[in-house]
Chain A
């Protein structure tokens, strides 16, 4: 997958401890996972550790010799097979996920893991505290955790029948979210836009597609949609027990950085009496079922 945005420390910069012991070459690649597999394949075959792995289209001044690695699907596939054969299938999965994280210099960290893994084989995956393993596990834990949070915290707006959401994650969570949302809403069209990485996930009647898009701004909501937002805000406010007010606990579970995109924290707009939720379905949601009796 292509990584165009600069996430917090992602994709660039040097890991000093690796750079100092490593060689004097900086590899340049195209920012895709296949591209990184090619870098790994070449570097591991030559047995030399690079000083850095950087994105080719972010020309940087460096005092090291640079070497551009062209992405080659065949080499990428071979390297992936090698990882599975010499370390394990789980190791390939770990590396794929680590690539989606915001770990600083994640390319070098991945390469260091592979280098030791090629030497030691599958047992490396059990060395949870090794310096080549622990940082990847921690970063992937962070990614998994963030994706888990977004599974719940994503808010869709119904804009002309399509469900639309914008998020700002630290890690690239969309590939992890795709199976969940496409599976859950097999008859809907939905779009999640990741503003941090300028990436999107489009699920169209159960089929998912990941891609990149420089900008995206959702259109204005109609009153029907605004009514549902107001209903959710009312519910959110009513469900808290005042005597148990505990803002720190809430923040611990749901840090403030998520709030921006969550309906319950948006400014409240009026509930439009005349344009109630009736549009929603065959049933008349406004009508009171007579059998229930004198509720009002």
Chain B
């Protein structure tokens, strides 16, 4: 099989993996080597589905010993199979990197023979990259659940980021759909990676020099919509993961049906993209805006609105806290205003030292007034001509995409939402 065909098969097999980011690590170039890494990461292209391409995202092989129902590479699936040799994959990475196609390598693998053997192949690939090519670019490797702890340790000293896929948002779903993977096989390595990262940091402080272990941290991903967990359960799980395992990121992947199975949504189900989008928005609120999962959803309301984003949703349900006076409100509260982001809030703090701000100033500072206008006053006045009729407010808070969906609702995606309830909630509180 030629290298082009292999690449096609093994990129295709990796395409549902979502964590194509290259962030969390600053490392300059050095004479005699190739490559560097920068903390914010870098997108080198965007695929036709609008997702960022940062890394060469491929599987080492899609030949798999397991038979997980939701997975396209399951043993029982009749698809073309291929495998890179470590040297092939290292060479391909370097040649793509030189041409600035990519920021580095994101390598995962089906389980060929057994987890240890698979991990050894990954280690060999990364060794060629790091030792022969002196590659200083970004490497993200998947830890293979069930592999020996010592192999995981070696993988971690070669890779910048490690991840273990949590796969499904609950243990019962995992048992049902991935009988070869256990909860322990997932959380075990996650815990070891966390410890490895902490130990290497401590050693670095103590001795000034120590082999770095997964210095860009660890992440995980889970599949959304293949199993019945609610948004609330998923967000609580993420919050726990961030806290307990100090994860850098949790990624969410809308389930794209790849198999007919009585335990899975039927094959003509559309991937729940809007749901995935809302979870990312909420995840952002957890990480950068000081929200707790329990503020956004609770036992009584377990799903996000299809129409408005989680931040608008929260604000509408807490109108007693608004409107805020822009020239006095503390930073933490500015962050909670729909239409004000982290950058916007910081600029407001800086700019209001030099004079009191009005709505025109806010616009110049990059605040989205379309949303923020309902929650702010400037110099103790609301925005001139502010229309607080419920339909107007709802429209103001919806994204353009949502407005389109509102006019022509695709039945499935909007079924969780009852527009009248929202209108009521706004009328009652404004």
Contact = CB atoms under 8 A, between A and B. Distances in A.
Interface of A: 123, 126-129, 134, 151-158, 163, 165, 180, 182-188, 206, 228, 230-232, 234-236, 238-250, 252-254, 262-264, 271, 273, 276-277, 280-281, 283-289, 292-293, 295-296
Contact of B7 (A231, A292, A293): A231
B380 interface: no
B100 A186 contact: no
23 contacts: A128-B364, A152-B100, A157-B99, A186-B29, A186-B31, A234-B7, A234-B8, A239-B12, A239-B14, A239-B15, A241-B16, A243-B270, A244-B50, A249-B49, A250-B46, A253-B50, A262-B45, A281-B91, A286-B2, A288-B1, A292-B61, A292-B84, A292-B121
A296 B1 contact: yes
A135 to B, nearest CB: 10
Nearest to B58: A235
Given A183-B29, A228-B99, A277-B91, A127 B351 contact: yes
A264 B45 CA distance: 9
B111 to A, nearest CB: 13
Contacts of B51: 240-241, 244
A187 B99 contact: no
B148 interface: no
Nearest to A163: B98
Interface residues of B, number: 78
B34 A185 contact: yes
B256 to A, nearest CB: 5
B11 A239 contact: yes
Given A154-B100, A263-B99, A277-B95, A292 B83 contact: yes
B271 A276 contact: no
A5 to B, nearest CB: 24
A288 B85 contact: yes
A121 to B, nearest CB: 12
Contact of A123 (B103, B128, B354): B354
A285 B357 contact: no
A262 B101 CA distance: 9
Contacts of B46: 249-250, 253-254
B322 interface: no
Contacts of A276: 2-3
B35 interface: yes
A45 B41 CA distance: 45
B200 interface: no
Interface in B6-36: 6-8, 11-12, 14-16, 28-36
B151 interface: no
Contacts of A240: 15, 47-49, 51
Contacts of A281: 91, 94
B101 A155 contact: yes
Nearest to A235: B11
A248 B291 CA distance: 30
Contact of A126 (B58, B87, B99, B354): B354
A253 B52 contact: yes
Most buried by A among B45, B121, B350: B45
A271 to B, nearest CB: 5
Contacts of B361: 129
Contacts of B8: 234-235, 238
Contacts of B96: 228, 231-232, 235
Contact of B15 (A127, A156, A186, A241): A241
Contact of B351 (A128, A154, A163, A280): A128
B209 interface: no
Rank and list the top 10 A-B pairs by shortest CB-CB distance, nearest first.
A249-B50, A289-B85, A244-B49, A240-B47, A238-B11, A246-B50, A295-B83, A183-B29, A283-B87, A240-B48
B318 interface: no
B149 interface: no
A239 B47 contact: yes
B354 A238 contact: no
Most buried by B among A127, A206, A230, A241: A241
A295 B270 CA distance: 32
A236 B55 CA distance: 11
A283 B91 contact: yes
Contacts of B87: 283-285, 287, 289
Nearest to A138: B364
A262 B46 CA distance: 11
Contacts of A280: 91, 94-95
Interface in B98-156: 98-101, 103, 112, 121, 128
